[in-house]
Amino acid sequence: MAPTGFAIPPRRRNALVAGATGLVGRALLESLVAERSVGTVTALVRRRVPALAAYAGLTQLTVDFAQWPALPEADDAYCCLGTTIKAAGSQQAFRAVDFDAVLAYARAARAAGATRFGVVSALGANPNSGVFYNRVKGEMEAAVATLGFDSVIIVRPSLLLGDRDAIGQPLRPAERWAARLTGPLGGLIPQSIRPIDARTVARALVHAMLRGEAGVWRFDSAALHKLGREG
């Protein structure tokens, strides 16, 4: 029995991260390794990334995203996997990443004991959308919600802002225009569609996951702006 006045600190939560090399994924790693309530952080990568060695306490695990192995035991699983139809080369190749790989990862994480799952989706995600990109994102959200996690956190950011040069990625045309407009017109753009910094998205996702509220929760950019300041 613990002595009077002695509080046993809560057990630190172990986390898995897929998609750690993108804008949100890299910012997410920074948030997780700095978070006292998080224990081990394992980045799931296709190949080892030398730049990730700078994160103290981070482990890299190379995996085949088309055929997931058994994953290390974990409490929380974060997913930042995603591409664009242009980068993927076809709608089929896009779906293989943004639906098939995400769902396979979620299943592998659940089998590894994860009870919370956080995933980066997109503004406009809707399984009934006539826009292919939005429909795939919506179908992914619906599928992940059925896998038995206690808590599912879905973030739907608008256009992302961040330093893609720092992670070796080219700036996307839409993001270039977003960056130009945000300065002079930022205050006039509704927060629900206003471009948002990837670091804000990452902080919001971690904050929502660590709250551990049961159920399926969706956060648009307006909510992410607010939650990212709190987290």
- Give the model confidence (pLDDT) of 114-133 as tens digits: 999 999 999 999 999 999 99
Q: Check residues 136 and 170 and name the one with the higher pLDDT.
A: 136
Q: How many CA atoms lie within 13 A of 7 on its CB side?
A: 3
Mean pLDDT of 34-41: 94
For the chain, how are helix, strand and coil distributed in percent, rounded to 5? 40, 20, 40
Question: Residue 160 CA to chain centroid, in angstroms?
Answer: 13
% pLDDT > 90, the chain:
69
Amino acid code (one letter) for 94:
F
Residue 202 CA to residue 145 CA, distance in Å, equals 20
| Strand spans (E) along 159-214 | 160-161, 196-197
What domains does the chain contain, in order, with CATH numbers?
13-230 (3.40.50.720)
- For residue 125, give Cα distances in angstroms to 24, 38, 90, 121, 219: 18, 30, 19, 7, 12
- Give the model confidence (pLDDT) of 59-108 as tens digits: 999 999 988 999 999 999 999 999 989 889 999 999 999 999 999 999 99
Decide: helix, strand or coil at residue 94.
Answer: helix
Residue 136 CA to residue 84 CA, distance in Å, equals 11
